[in-house]
Structure 1
Amino acid sequence: MIQAIAFYLFAILLIASAVMVIMSRNPVHSVLWLILAFFNAAGLMVLLGAEFIAMLLVIVYVGAVAVLFLFVVMMLDIDFAELRAGFVKNFPLGLAVALVLLAEMLMGILAWNAGGLKLGTPDGTSATPMGESNLEAIGALLYGKYVLLFEVAGIILLVAMIGAIVLTHRRRPGGARGHQKISKQVSRRPEEATVMKQPEVGKGVEL
């Protein structure tokens, strides 16, 4: 009984917060509603016995992705009047895309009801072994059967990170502002630094 009450509670809050993500006109409020949706989705995963996925939702999505979105949105100088004007301008295109997606979903439902889709049936090979937790089963599968793919994905992410660092720290022409010369900073002499010598009123520091 308590499981059913918790399921309906998490599901209703998840759907409501997802709707508010779309309906909120303030981007900061949308990100906050998105965080609430992630928390409720994590609750549903716990009810299903997938505690590892619930932990990923809270740590990765709420703790990193959603907070990053929130920081970016808060740092942006957003003109809400312009934002609403763009919404009105692109409303026909958005409505057309929504109708196309709705038609695709209806076609998929009708095809499934008519028997046009053949869904695979589980053969039990991926079932969790007896006596092992969900986390142990995921670890054994990830670092056992799919260890090569996992290492390849890690190498791709490493290459992407190195590429982003190289592009960000590339040498700017003409010694543009923001580029540091470490050798010049290390070889600087004390007399080249700023010296405070008790300046009088109306006078600054001696360079």
Structure 2
Amino acid sequence: MTYELASFWTFAAVTVLAALGVISLRNPVHAVLSLVLAFFSAACLWLLLQAEFLGVVLILVYVGAVMVLFLFVVMMLDINIAPLREGFIRHVPLALVVAVVMAAEMIMLLSGKRFEAGLSGSDPAAAVGKTNIQWLGETLFSQYILPFETAAVILTVALVVAVMLTLRRRPGTKHQDPARQAAVRREDRIRLVKMPAEGGQEGKQ
């Protein structure tokens, strides 16, 4: 087994394990850390396959934007995160494990020789005389258009389901009804009550 193939299987195994941790861990903080590790391992796979643009975009866009969206959805689901904020030191061991694994992947990726040919034996972009980004765009929207559209539909469904979860009726929570608020009349908002004036303490005596 070559060094490139061993690195590929290592990154792939870490990606799968981290993805399983995202969907199996009950603590949202631990799930976020697992998702960061999954994104980073996938970026290492892209770099190993000579797709530097995808690797950089995966780190900048997904770790920078999708992670924020993930936390935003967690907050929208009305999860009681007050206990999670208490004892922040409890999350440090898992964070250290994630950091050590990411450092090991970086060392594995950079310590070996430059992967000039990648796993396929040749650079497909250079073979057709195009840049990596140009070849990637043409290949993605021509040969792999069906998986690309399928992934887009799955992400759209996930977003719709997240919104539906936030709108579900839960006991003990208050909800607004815009139709009833718009149909209210002036008489329903305020009522004038006429009460007789009362004398002071001297009048009572």
TM-score tier after normalising by the smaller chain length: 0.3 to 0.5
Q: Which has the higher contact order (CA 8 A, sep 6+)?
A: 2
Q: TM-score, normalised by structure 2?
A: 0.42
